[in-house]
Structure formats: structure tokens, C-alpha cells
Amino acid sequence: MASDIKRIAAIIAAEIGARPEQAAAAIGLLDEGATVPFVARYRKEVTGGLDDTQLRDLSERLAYLRELDARRETIVSSIREQGKLTEELEAKIAAAATKAELEDIYLPYKPKRRTKAEIARERGLGPLAEAILADRSKAPAELALAYVTEEVTDAKAALEGARDILSEQFAENADLVGKLRAYMKERAFLRAKVVDGKQEAGAKFADYFDHVERWSGVPSHRALAMLRGRNEEVLSLDIEVDADDQSPVKPVERMIANAYAIGGSLPGDKWLMEVAGWTWRIKLSLHLTLDLMRDLRERAEDEAIHVFARNLKDLLLAAPAG
């Protein structure tokens, strides 16, 4: 427990501009039941003078990091019970710094309903997927002929099964998903549109009836307003990335392809490029859009709370009128 506090204190101290011993002292006080306002006002000598803003940030990050560690333990236990935990995987889990990164790593091991990829493997199509990925010089349709059975009625069905297997593999690549998420956070735009027929009833949201701005720069008040408009079924919100890119292969699809050295002119490359695009459209686009929407809400709510706390503090410390 002490080592955990020391580790967490070091992480938070670097983030709030404090020394590890200051963060550790504040964590100790909060764990004893003290509130942030109490510590900020009456325990400055213990924390080395941490102010209200630093302590609120510390309290929020402390809760997040402890939730992260609890989830980390659950994931390690789950993978160990499956008999799939390796030293390399355990080290990767230990190094995960965010919940999103941790869940990306866990995705291939997460218990789930029977998938199309699993059904395809049961039908013996795993080797076909591996063969197409390994040897791009051969036409996938020709390779697929060797896998036609009573269950797999023709080459087209065999290729669909191979696609399901590979798209699941691509979508569960933690490093790739992390890079795609980072790319979207940097390049994505938030688009708001009015729902047909709601113009009059939703007039208070008129500023957002046809609104686009970069996701990373949306201020909290606008984000919360648009999210409220969506909740009231006046606005529809979407995350767009490279919407104006007219190239046949979108940058996000190219990132998926590059992760598996797909991109040549061989028959296998052409088919695999289609699988990369299919993986983005069917599996990853919605998943990452939901991630960014959740991040937007959390970011906006956190910022709004900080602004409210700062304004309230200024009000309470202001000289009485008159």
C-alpha cells in the first residue's frame, strides 16, 4: 500500500507542479477523510502550501489512478485464469497509463459473445487468413478454393470468413487502436446539426444547427450546450475525421494497412487493403467515435467544475459590498 501511494504521489506531483512528498502528504490527509477545502485552508503546513486548485486536481487524479489500478488487477486476474498471461503482456498492462490504453490491451482477451471471426476459425478458415497475410503474390480467390467445404460453400464465403478473422485481429491491435485514437484527437472535428422538424422547438440551440469545430478545441460551455441539445433530441452530433479527403484510401485506413505492411500492388495487397477499409468502417470508426464523445463530455464537465470552483472562490474572498 505504501509503495502504491509513493508511486501515485510521484505521478500526480509531476502533473500538478509539486514535490512527491507534498502529494503524498495530501493523499494521506484525504485518505483520513479530510476534504479538499479543509486541507487547502488548514493544512498548508502539512502539504507544503498546495493550493485549492492543485488539491482538486490531485483528488481527481487520485481517484482515476486508483480506479485504473483496480481495473488493472482485474484484467491481469482474468487473463491469468485464461492461461494466457505472459511476462511481456503483464509488463504491457503494468505500463498502461490510461483506462483507454488498458482496455485496448485487454480487448483480445475480453470474454465476448461468439463472433463471426470465431465461427470462421471453427470452420477452418484461420489458415486461409494467415496465408493471405503472409503471401501477397497469390490471388486470395484462388487460395480460398482450397477451403471450400459443406459449411463454406464457395470461395466468396471462405474470403468473407478470412476477412472476419483479419478484421478482428486488426481491430484488437492495441498499439494500432492507440495510434488511431491519438490521430483522431488531433485531427477530428465535432459536427452538430439540427434534427429535421426541431428548428422551432429547439430555437435555444440555434447557434449549433449547422456547426463544425475542431474536437480538441471545443470549450466546455459549447460542448455542454451541444451535448444537452443532443439529449433533448434537437441536435445530432458526429465526429468527423478527414471528411474532406478525396483520396480513395483514407489516412485512417492507411494507418491500419501500414501496421501490417499492406500497400503494394500484389493481388493479396489489394484484397487486404479492402479489409483494412472494412475494419475501419465496420469495427473501429464507431468505437473510437464513442470514445471521443465520452472524452469530450468528461473534459467539458471537468473544465466547468474548475471554472465554477474558481468563480465561487473569488466570490467568497471578495470584499463585502459597501
> Are 46 and 92 contained in the same domain?
yes
What DSSP string describes 298-318?
HHHHHHHHHHHHHHHHHHHHS
> Are 20 and 36 contained in the same domain?
yes
Q: Which of 76, 109, 142 is the last residue of a domain?
A: 109
pLDDT at 4: 83
Task: Give percent of the chain with pLDDT exceeding 70.
Answer: 96
Per-residue pLDDT band for 2 (boundaries 50, 70, 90) equals low
CA dihedral 140, 145, 147, 150 (to 10 degrees): 140
DSSP letter (8 states) at residue 213: E
Query: Is residue 122 predicted with pLDDT exceeding 90?
Result: yes
Per-residue pLDDT of 72-111, as tens digits, reads: 999 999 999 999 999 999 999 999 999 999 999 999 999 8
Q: Is residue 213 situated within a structural domain?
A: no
Separation between Cα atoms, residue 14 and residue 114, nearest integer Å: 44
More confident residue, 318 or 128: 128
Mean pLDDT over the full length of the chain: 93
> Are 71 and 147 contained in the same domain?
no
> Are 176 and 104 contained in the same domain?
no
Q: Which of 91, 109, 127 is the last residue of a domain?
A: 109
Sign of the dihedral through C-alpha 287, 292, 295, 301: negative
Q: Which of 83, 109, 135 is the last residue of a domain?
A: 109
pLDDT at 316: 67
Helices 52-81, 99-106: axis angle to 10 degrees equals: 10
User: C-alpha grid cell for residue 129?
Assistant: 487468413
Separation between Cα atoms, residue 151 and residue 260, nearest integer Å: 29
pLDDT at 301: 87
Q: Is residue 284 situated within a structural domain?
A: yes
Separation between Cα atoms, residue 234 and residue 293, nearest integer Å: 17
User: C-alpha grid cell for residue 256?
Assistant: 491500419
Query: Is residue 322 predicted with pLDDT exceeding 60?
Result: no
Domain that holds residue 23: 2-109
Query: Is residue 321 predicted with pLDDT exceeding 60?
Result: no
Per-residue pLDDT band for 320 (boundaries 50, 70, 90) equals low
Per-residue pLDDT band for 317 (boundaries 50, 70, 90) equals low
Per-residue pLDDT band for 318 (boundaries 50, 70, 90) equals low
> Are 80 and 162 contained in the same domain?
no
Per-residue pLDDT band for 306 (boundaries 50, 70, 90) equals confident
pLDDT at 43: 94
Please give the angle made by the CA atoms of 271, 277 and 280, to the nearest 5 degrees.
145
> Are 104 and 146 contained in the same domain?
no
What DSSP string describes 148-194?
--SSS-SHHHHHHHHHHHHHHHHHT-HHHHHHHHHHHHHH-EEEEEE
Helix (H), strand (E) at residue 53: helix 52-81
Number of domains in the chain: 2
Per-residue pLDDT band for 190 (boundaries 50, 70, 90) equals very high
Q: Quote the longest CA-to-CA distance of the chain.
A: 91
Per-residue pLDDT of 154-188, as tens digits, reads: 999 999 999 999 999 999 999 999 999 999 999 99
> Are 105 and 120 contained in the same domain?
no
> Are 29 and 46 contained in the same domain?
yes
pLDDT at 249: 86
Q: Is residue 318 situated within a structural domain?
A: no
> Are 120 and 99 contained in the same domain?
no
> Are 55 and 105 contained in the same domain?
yes
Query: Is residue 42 predicted with pLDDT exceeding 80?
Result: yes
Write the CATH number for 122: 1.10.3500.10
Answer whether 93's CB lies under 8 Å from 76's CB.
yes
Q: Name the pTM for this structure.
A: 0.81
